[in-house]
Structures are given as C-alpha cells and as structure tokens.
Amino acid sequence: METVAEKKFSVEEYFALEEKSEIRHEFYYGEIIEMPGETTIANLIAGNIYVLLRILFKKTPFMVFDHDIKLMVHKKSYRYPDLVVIHQKGDHKKYVTDPVLIVEVLSESTEDIDRDKKRLEYFGLSSLQYYLTIHQDEPIVEIYTRSGKSWQFDFYTDINENVSLPFFDTQLSLQDIFEGVSFEKKGE
C-alpha cells in the first residue's frame, strides 16, 4: 500500500486561506490546523482577563489582543492565543510579534497542545515574561515566569489568591479572573 504525503502549505497560502475562511486556523511548519470553537466559560474567562488588562495597561506601552489575533511565534509557526500582551511597536495588521504575556484557557481538546507543544514554542520567544494556562472547570491558574534563562512554575487554586505579575508591577485576583463562572462541587 502506498502512502500519500500530506500537503505542506506555504505561509502565503496560509494567509490567503485565513483571509477567506470563516473559521480560524493555526499554522505550524506547513500544516494548517483548524481551531475548535470555544465554550462560553472559556470565552468569559478570557474576556474577564482582557478587560482587566485593558484597564491596567491604559496609557502604558502595552497592547492587549484577544483570541482573534495571530501571534507569529516564528516564520513557520502562527498561533491564536486566547490573549496576548505586546509592547506597542511595529506594524500590527495581520499578526503580532514579541509577546510579553500569553494566556491560554485550557479545554479538553486543546489542553495537551497548550501545555506542551505551544508552551515549548512560546518559551523560545525572548520577549515573553509570562505564560498563563487557566482551567475552566475549576479555579486553577498555572503561571510560568521567566527568570533569566530559565522558567519558574507556580499555580494558584484558592479563589481568594492573587496571581503576581511583577514585570507589570501588578496582580490579578482569581476572583476577577473567574468572575461570573460557577464551578460544580466535586461529587455533584
């Protein structure tokens, strides 16, 4: 039996597809990956963080973008993080570069990719200071913080805790992150 090689696309073909498509796709080394839809809870969590950061970064050199903006990880990889913060510089029409903070709200269909493949890709970005992964079924925030050439991991599980972001001289409360989200108690 003969195997058929999967077609590899160029970046130009990817951008042409994205301009016409009603759904989002990520691009990874010639592979075009359809993005699944998100839940209302994931959207609410990402929206809460977006609003908090937009207010926080008003009149600062930072810009906040939500899940509909592509991030160029490198010339052969374009991703759609749930939220990305960048410095205000450059021409940002089709995609952004040089993220300082990236947020992914975990779902069953994306958790493995967000935690492993994307995390390792993102860690290669010299501008990145924070990578947050947020659970939507319980109040858990995981944060990777750049510490020189290495990364420090921490997590928050108490709704009364605050996620520390010293690079921005601020904190985000889990209460604000999960505002409007109801969690089912285990065993119910």
Q: For residue 75, which amino acid is it?
A: K
Any domain includes 124:
yes
Say what the pLDDT of residue 114 is: 87
Any domain includes 91:
yes
Say what the pLDDT of residue 17 is: 93
Q: What is the pLDDT of residues 126-161, one digit of tens each?
A: 999 999 999 999 999 999 999 999 999 999 999 999
How many structural domains are present in the chain?
1
Any domain includes 31:
no
Any domain includes 53:
yes
Contact of 24 with 35, CB cutoff 8 Å? yes
The band of 187, judged by pLDDT with boundaries at 50, 70 and 90, is: low
Tell me, what CATH number does 98's domain have? 3.90.1570.10
* Full 3-state SS string of the chain: CCCCCCCCCCHHHHHHHHHHCCCCEEEECCEEEECCCCCHHHHHHHHHHHHHHHHHCCCCCEEEEECCCEEEEECCEEECCCEEEEECCCCCCCEECCEEEEEEECCCCCHHHHHHHHHHHHHCCCCCCEEEEECCCCCCEEEEEEECCEEEEEEECCCCCEEEEHHHCEEEEHHHHCCCCCCCCCCC
Q: What is the pLDDT of residues 46-74, one digit of tens each?
A: 999 999 999 999 999 999 999 889 999 99
Q: Of the candidates 41, 173, 17, which has an alpha carbon nearest to the alpha carbon of residue 107?
A: 41
pTM score, two decimals? 0.91
Range(s) of the domain holding residue 170: 39-177
Any domain includes 186:
no
Does residue 38 carry a pLDDT above 90?
no
